[in-house]
Amino acid sequence: MNRLWACPRPTLRMPRAMSCLIRFALLSALALAPPADGAGDTADRAATEHKAPAAAEPRALQSTCTYALSTSEVLAPRSGSQGTIQVDTQPGCLWIVSPGRNWITIEQPAALFAEGSGSVSFRVEANAGAARTTSLAVGPALVRISQPGDSPEPVAAFRDVWGGVRLSRYGSDTLLNGGGAFDSNPAAARAPNGDVYFACRDLWNAIWASVYRASTKTWESWRFGGGLTAGQPSIAVAASGTAYIAVRDAWNSYWVLTYSGSAFGAWTPLQGVFATDPVIAAAGDGSVYVIGKDNWNGLWSGRISPGGTFQGWRFGGGVVQGTPAVAGGTDGTAYVAVRDPWNAVWIARVQQETWLSWSNGGGILSLDPQIASGSPGQVHAVVRDPWGAWWTRGFAEGSSHGWLAWASTGGSLANASPLATPGGVFIAGLDAAGAFWWYGQHSGAWTRMGWAGTAAGPPAASR
């Protein structure tokens, strides 16, 4: 017990109970009475010395907190950089910072949380690999941080509900408008210098082409190529920089039209009678391969030599369903991906005018497979399983049975289109609600870009 409150010993003149009562009354008077003039310091000091410590004043908590950031997107250079984001919120509102990936370092606040308005200082490490993106979480708000790499910038295009073509760059929230009014979905292919060539069929079945210049990030005007075509065109860019556009006419024969990026060449008939639209790919030796399926579900290949001469059709056999897909390898070989009647994926190799081998990759597919080249020594098959998830499986170039392990990307998309770079596989796709998504193998994550209801057809990635 505090000595101030201890009762004195009783005396013959004052019983103990009475002494306690008087002491209590005196202390109560001191506590309640204002100090006399000139005695304030003494009174205050006495109260400080003898009163129990006051309880801490409760902090007023915000019942509603809003958070505004100075930016929602940061584009960091390949060499790395430092940045600052301003956070605006009410006093008493707490917020936590989460960097998302280990190539982002938070420098301030050091404790990774703060109260009220403030700022976040961060550092982005240099990137020697593929382009990458992540989200920096500041409270409930997100800041997208993207950074280019040594690999080409992944891009994909799709036809919007008004017939125009839109372009999405991986890691960017900006949707570029290429214009036009088309009846087909766009076809896309990357040139050796990084430019991306596009081809579309208009409402009158003529072909148009355009180029997205990677160096300036600008889209050139569409140019009219003419023709009377049907179905979905396909495009590939040879090592020479010339684009080849493959189409099917109204009588199911194939044709090829060249495009230099500023002018069209002559139409070249490839003849034949086919049940599917053509697919086309450029190989590392300068050859361009055209693949089609006949009315009996067998495959055919036709090669255009580096000099631009069509070498005729070669029968590859097989009994396949759906539309084949093709990618050109760095070894000068075409790699053809198909789905068999039991929904397994196969890859067939074609080198010049010779079909080399067929290899069963297994799986249970719910859509026709797609294939992309661009990784060193590999092509990548991309498939969707019966539950809507997407998978990739690499195939080593130059091998008769070069299948590598399956890798799940997760996700649940209605359609998708892959591309491959030295930094890995990227996939662009639409979900069931029509929203656009990107997947990057280097990050192992899908990123929802949005734009639901904008796309009228599946995207075309720049393979």
CATH numbers and ranges of domains, the chain: 68-147 (2.60.40.10), 155-461 (2.120.10.70)
pTM for this one? 0.72
- Spatial distance between the Cα atoms of 411 and 424, rounded to a whole number of angstroms: 18
Residue pLDDT tens, the chain, 463 long: 343 334 444 443 344 443 433 343 333 333 334 444 443 343 343 333 444 444 444 444 556 899 999 998 888 888 889 999 999 999 999 999 988 788 899 999 988 889 999 999 999 988 876 667 788 899 888 898 888 766 678 899 999 999 999 999 987 888 999 999 999 999 999 998 889 999 999 999 999 999 999 888 889 999 999 999 999 999 999 999 999 999 999 999 999 999 999 999 999 999 999 999 999 999 999 999 999 999 999 999 999 999 999 999 999 999 999 999 999 999 999 999 999 999 999 999 999 999 999 999 999 999 999 999 987 789 999 999 999 999 999 999 998 889 999 999 987 899 999 999 877 899 999 999 999 999 988 788 899 998 888 888 889 998 7
Give the E-state strand segments of 67-164 in sequence order: 68-69, 73-75, 81-88, 94-98, 104-108, 113-115, 118-124, 132-138, 141-147, 155-159
Nearest to 171, CA basis, from 370, 439, 463, 451: 439
Nearby residues of 16 by Cβ (< 8 Å), 6 or more positions away = 7, 8, 9, 10
Amino acid (one-letter) located at 429: G
How far from 132 is each of 108, 218, 425, 440, 442, CA to CA, in Å? 23, 21, 12, 8, 7
Structure tokens at 129: 């690999």
Amino acid (one-letter) located at 103: W
The answer to whether 83 and 77 are in contact (CB under 8 A) is: no
3-state secondary structure of 283: coil
